[in-house]
């Protein structure tokens, strides 16, 4: 079913910048993003000079993004458990120390390829902690009505960095070498930490006892596993990112081998992609108003496939620069749309963890793809690698016919507290478990089939919000009774279902099922005797 957008005019993309705290942090993060792109260009060019192998150059992207695959979900859990501002400050101080070591060793000529990739991996681990923490802070900085605009500004920040960082890095590397670039990246971490330290947020009332870390990680993974909408969003992202990563992995080789460019010329190519991405962010609202989301994804993916093919076949610097502009436009159209769909669907209690899983797919697809395209280019050459990536991108676009983005515009994603508070004669330990919850429904034989069908949506809601097992049973001794049974790991996990994990959509699903019963359900809670 095609997705259509609301006709209401959204707030200006620049509105959140009128908020001083958000503006200061956004500018500091922009500087950090620019430093990260400078770091990437410096590392890739240093390896081009040292080794020249396609695989090793492509592995720079793998080393910087693989930590997100490994640490994204734990990072999201940390962002939902600890003070986010203090966590961000600690991470930026750590990144400053690592960056200073990298710059010092490079400037003194003691930076072998293996150590460079190791420190790049460590910097990537810090970025894996930063991203979900920052995104989960944004709702504390801007009004809810401006969250979409703040998300668009995030895309503009990343792509401004992609336009500016490589160009600046190329000039600096040509004049002073990669060590200076690494030093400026280190400075950007320190600036971000300073701005965070100067921010003094108003003390907010506690929203309750935080989840334990391990339980938070498990509940985040469980939510994604039992959410078809989230899984479809992640699939669409992966189908675009795996072939799309060929552009970033192989562009330094196009610059150095095909076009004979130095680091400055390579920076210009990356800047062309960044400029296109900024244009895409500005064009996106108009295109979303005219096209369905699935049509937008189809057009952008097809455009990117054409760009990949053109990069593989063209030997002209001017032609490459020109075709990289629509590459940037298509890149930001797809990823901004997919990311926005994820943010709008996820409920507040699991948003950081859900976005962390999205980042895991984002980074994993690029890390694995970059390595695969580097190996393929080593074995077959640049032209077959690019044409294969283009064909894979087109194949992914065709799958929109069978696996389109789902329409969630009518779903109520606001928190809903509608379950009555449980009253027990035995006082359980919050972290004891498991807990078996039984709900006994009176259902007439005429409504049984419809009730069982309606309970399928209820089942998904139970599993998303805490249940690890769920079943629906006929009562063998009492005709006309159907019993829902589900197991929750701990009493604390079940109380969180009562106090904020459920959404308006979950409530509506339960109401549709209850409309088919002959009376209220009898609910009982069975506590573990061990």
pLDDT digits (tens, 9 = 90+) for 280-292: 877 877 787 788 8
Q: Are 513 and 458 in contact (CB under 8 A)?
A: yes
What pLDDT, on a 0 to 100 scale, did the predictor assign at position 149? 66
Q: With a cut of 60, say whether residue 52 has pLDDT above it.
A: no
Distances (CA, A) of 135 to 124, 227, 326, 339: 17, 21, 27, 11
Tokens of residue 324, six digits: 């990289």
pLDDT, greater one: 390 or 176: 390
- Taking only the tens place, the pLDDT of each residue in 314-370 is 888 899 999 999 998 999 889 888 877 887 788 878 888 898 898 888 888 887 888
DSSP 415: B
Q: What share of the chain in percent tops pLDDT 90? A: 42
Q: With a cut of 70, say whether residue 233 has pLDDT above it.
A: yes
- Taking only the tens place, the pLDDT of each residue in 175-195 is 888 889 999 999 999 999 999
Q: Give the mean pLDDT of 439-449.
A: 94
Q: Give the mean pLDDT of 299-312.
A: 95
Q: With a cut of 90, say whether residue 228 has pLDDT above it.
A: yes
Question: What is the chain's mean pLDDT, rounded?
Answer: 86
Instruction: Please report which confidence band the pLDDT of residue 6 belongs to, taking 50, 70 and 90 as the band edges.
Output: very low
**Token pair 């792509």 is at which residue?**
159
- Taking only the tens place, the pLDDT of each residue in 131-146 is 888 877 877 788 766 7
Q: What distance in Å separates the CA atoms of residue 442 and residue 421, rounded to the nearest whole number?
A: 22
Rg of the chain on CA atoms, in Å: 25
pLDDT, greater one: 48 or 395: 395
pLDDT, greater one: 298 or 378: 298
Q: With a cut of 50, say whether residue 7 has pLDDT above it.
A: no
Please name which of 416, 420, 513, 428 lies closest in space to residue 465, comparing C-alpha atoms.
416
Q: With a cut of 90, say whether residue 523 has pLDDT above it.
A: yes
Q: Are 408 and 229 in contact (CB under 8 A)?
A: yes
Q: Helix, strand, or coil here: 474?
A: strand
Q: Give the mean pLDDT of 499-520.
A: 92
DSSP 503: B
What pLDDT, on a 0 to 100 scale, did the predictor assign at position 4? 41
Dihedral angle, C-alpha 172, 178, 180, 185, nearest 10 °: 100
pLDDT, greater one: 130 or 304: 304
DSSP per-residue codes, 40-97: HHHHHHHHHHHT--HHHHHHHHHHHHHHHHHHHHHHHHHHHHS-HHHHHHHHHHHHHH
- Rounded to 10°, the helix 54-81/213-225 angle is 110
Instruction: Please report which confidence band the pLDDT of residue 3 belongs to, taking 50, 70 and 90 as the band edges.
Output: very low
Q: Please name the residues in contact with 443: beta carbons below 8 A apart, sequence gap of 6 or more.
A: 451, 480, 481, 482, 516, 517, 518
Instruction: Please report which confidence band the pLDDT of residue 11 belongs to, taking 50, 70 and 90 as the band edges.
Output: low
Mean pLDDT lowest among 152-166, 177-191, 225-239: 152-166
What pLDDT, on a 0 to 100 scale, did the predictor assign at position 208? 63
Q: Are 372 and 249 in contact (CB under 8 A)?
A: no
Strand partners, 518: none
Q: Are 85 and 201 in contact (CB under 8 A)?
A: yes
Strand partners, 199: none
- Taking only the tens place, the pLDDT of each residue in 59-116 is 776 777 778 778 888 888 888 777 788 889 999 999 999 999 999 998 888 888 888 8
pLDDT, greater one: 363 or 233: 233
> Count of CB atoms within 10 A of residue 279's CB?
16
What pLDDT, on a 0 to 100 scale, did the predictor assign at position 200? 83
Q: With a cut of 70, say whether residue 12 has pLDDT above it.
A: no
Q: Say how many Å lie between the first and final Cα of the chain, rounded.
A: 50
Beta strand pairing status for 481-488 and 522-527? Answer: unpaired
Peptide bond into 434 cis (omega under 30): yes
Please name which of 117, 9, 24 lies closest in space to residue 65, comparing C-alpha atoms.
117
Q: What is the pTM of this model?
A: 0.83
Q: With a cut of 70, say whether residue 215 has pLDDT above it.
A: yes
pLDDT, greater one: 76 or 238: 238
pLDDT, greater one: 256 or 526: 526
Dihedral angle, C-alpha 23, 27, 33, 36, nearest 10 °: -140
Q: Give the mean pLDDT of 488-514.
A: 92
Instruction: Please report which confidence band the pLDDT of residue 2 belongs to, taking 50, 70 and 90 as the band edges.
Output: very low
Q: What distance in Å separates the CA atoms of residue 276 and residue 322, rounded to the nearest whole number?
A: 10
């Amino acid at each position: 079913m095609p997705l259509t957008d609301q006709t209401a005019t959204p707030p200006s993309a620049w509105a959140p910048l009128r908020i001083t705290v958000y503006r200061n942090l956004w500018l500091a993060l922009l500087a950090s993003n620019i430093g990260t792109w400078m770091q990437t260009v410096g590392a890739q060019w240093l390896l081009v000079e040292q080794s020249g192998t396609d695989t090793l150059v492509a592995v720079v992207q793998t080393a910087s993004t693989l930590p997100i695959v490994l640490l994204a979900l734990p990072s999201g859990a940390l962002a939902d458990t600890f003070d986010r501002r203090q966590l961000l400050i600690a991470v930026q101080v750590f990144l400053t120390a690592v960056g200073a070591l990298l710059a010092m060793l490079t400037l003194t000529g003691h930076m072998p390829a293996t150590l460079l990739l190791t420190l790049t991996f460590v910097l990537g681990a810090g970025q894996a902690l930063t991203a979900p923490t920052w995104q989960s802070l944004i709702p504390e900085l801007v009004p809810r009505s401006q969250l979409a605009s703040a998300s668009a500004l995030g895309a503009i920040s990343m792509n401004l960095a992609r336009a500016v960082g490589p160009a600046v890095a190329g000039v600096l590397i040509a004049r002073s070498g990669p060590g200076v670039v690494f030093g400026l990246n280190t400075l950007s971490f320190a600036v971000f930490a300073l701005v965070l330290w100067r921010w003094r947020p108003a003390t907010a009332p506690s929203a309750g006892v935080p989840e334990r870390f391990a339980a938070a990680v498990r509940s985040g993974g469980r939510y994604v596993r039992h959410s078809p909408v989230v899984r479809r969003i992640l699939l669409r992202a992966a189908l675009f990112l795996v072939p799309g990563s060929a552009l970033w992995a192989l562009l330094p080789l196009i610059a150095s081998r095909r076009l004979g460019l130095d680091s400055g010329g390579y920076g210009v190519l990356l800047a062309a992609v960044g400029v296109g991405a900024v244009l895409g962010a500005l064009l996106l609202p108009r295109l979303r108003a005219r096209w369905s989301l699935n049509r937008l994804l189809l057009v952008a993916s097809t455009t990117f496939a054409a760009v990949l093919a053109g990069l593989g076949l063209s030997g002209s610097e001017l032609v490459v620069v020109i075709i990289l502009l629509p590459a940037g436009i298509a890149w930001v159209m797809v990823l901004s749309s997919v990311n926005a769909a994820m943010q709008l669907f996820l409920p507040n209690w699991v948003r950081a963890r859900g976005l962390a899983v999205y980042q895991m797919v984002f980074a994993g697809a690029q890390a694995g793809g970059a390595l695969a395209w580097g190996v393929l280019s080593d074995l077959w050459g640049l032209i077959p690698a690019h044409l294969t990536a283009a064909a894979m991108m087109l194949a992914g676009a065709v799958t929109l016919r069978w696996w389109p983005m789902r329409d969630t515009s009518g779903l109520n994603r606001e928190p809903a507290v509608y379950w009555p508070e449980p009253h027990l004669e035995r006082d359980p330990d919050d972290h004891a478990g498991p807990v078996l919850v039984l709900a006994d429904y009176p259902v007439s034989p005429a409504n049984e089939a419809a009730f069982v069908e309606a309970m399928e949506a209820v089942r998904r809601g139970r599993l998303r919000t805490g249940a690890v097992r769920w079943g629906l049973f006929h009562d063998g001794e009492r005709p006309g009774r159907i019993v829902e049974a589900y197991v929750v790991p701990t009493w604390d996990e079940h109380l969180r279902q009562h106090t904020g994990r459920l959404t308006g959509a979950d409530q509506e699903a339960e109401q549709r099922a209850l409309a088919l019963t002959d009376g209220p359900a009898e609910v009982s809670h069975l506590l573990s005797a061990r």
